[in-house]
Amino acid sequence: MSRSRTTPTSEFEKKDRCAHLPHRPRVLLGKMGLDGHDRGVKVIARALRDSGVHVIYSGLWQTPRSLAISARDEDVDVIAASMMSNSHLALGPALLDELTKVGRPDIPVQMGGILPQEDIPKLLDAGISACYTTGVGLEEIVQAVTSVVRPRTHLIEGDHPIAQLARDLSLVHEQGQVRGDAPRRRPARVIGITGSPGAGKSTLVAQLAAEISRRSEQDPSLGRVGVVAFDPMSPITNGALLGDRLRVDFNRLDERVFYRSFAIRGEDYHGLDTIVELIGGAPGEAPIETLFVETVGAGQNETRIRDHVDRTAVVLTPGMGDAIQMDKAGILEIADLFVCNKADFPGEHELVRDLRDISAGRPVFETVATHGQGIGELADELLGG
């Protein structure tokens, strides 16, 4: 999809356009193929968020399979695929095939971007629900993706267990409803990852998920990995941009990591204990034994995640403040371990020193998540601690 040049962002007034719908719309924005340009799709993401939609952005270079897995696990209402690489006639039908394989052939796919007019009938005949060229405005895109929202039923058509799990999670989070016969079990390790905005929590979680998944191939007793990621909901439009899953390389990990995003206000973790048990009860060749719960970027007094997890890792970065900040009560008190991420930044030695001064024996780890540095040692602690 591509934003119209005739519709300036300033004209897209912020208001909740989705309040009348049966539930908050969930839209997966995806870019398949080798297209490395995402400026236009980010404009669309902001427009959808500002209309009240919950937008899951999966990042660049997605395959049809990775996009289908994301759509299923996030229980989206529609996929909005942006195509700029002249591969739409191959990738569009391939995405529809993959949706069938992962148990959600009912999710509509809309495509936009560089689409020649003569190819649009071919895409529609193949099963793409709607096509948009570069002249389509933001208002029309918002109306298109919200028009497909329908009430959620408790059971997914077909018998795919992970598709059903994703729907169960939606009903718990949105309506507080639990399907009576849904399997429930708490994973062996439930780990909270919290810290200030920009500390690199999402990248850290992605690296840990990949590392533990790699180890589980050699040691199946470790089980699979799950991630629950919380992002903030707009207090004005109720929209949200859920972008944490783009840090995970699903092209490589495929279904070895189950990842689900939710939007909340503040520390409203309603239903989280049930969500944890539903994910732990997910059927599969191996159970989910390690579940990461990533919080919204947290401040000093945001500590409720501790009530829902077994262990809490507080992620900090150099330059966060002087030693006086360390002595203040709050988020640092709930840590079972500390992670100094971005340890290649200036001030790393001072931060580690201050953390060790207040740690009272709690371990302190140094990582550079973007390069995988220190991830193995941290995984050792989380798996064995």
The pLDDT tens digits of the residues spanning 123-168 come to 999 999 999 988 888 899 999 999 999 999 999 988 899 999 999 9
Summary mean pLDDT of the chain: 91
Say what the pLDDT of residue 10 is. Answer: 47
Lowest mean pLDDT among 6-10, 168-172, 221-225: 6-10
Say what the pLDDT of residue 37 is. Answer: 72
Strands, sheet with 54-57, edge to edge from the N-terminal-most edge strand: 130-132, 109-113, 78-83, 26-31, 54-57, 240-242
pLDDT beyond 90 at 66 = yes
pLDDT beyond 50 at 324 = no
The domains of the chain, with CATH numbers, are: 9-146 (3.40.50.280), 189-384 (3.40.50.300)
Paired strand residues for 193 = 294, 313
Cβ atoms < 10 Å from Cβ of 113: 22
pLDDT beyond 60 at 7 = no
Say what the pLDDT of residue 86 is. Answer: 80
pLDDT beyond 50 at 383 = yes
Say what the pLDDT of residue 281 is. Answer: 97
Instruction: Say what percent of the chain tops pLDDT 70.
Output: 93
Say what the pLDDT of residue 5 is. Answer: 43
Cβ atoms < 10 Å from Cβ of 366: 20
Tokens of 145: 């993706």
pLDDT beyond 60 at 6 = no
Whose structure tokens read 């330059």? 319
Q: What is the DSSP letter of 220?
A: G
**Cα–chain center distance at 89:** 28
> Is residue 222 classed as helix, strand or coil in its secondary structure?
helix
Work out the widest C-alpha separation in the chain, in whole angstroms. Answer: 68
- Residue 385 binned pLDDT confidence (cut-offs 50, 70, 90): low
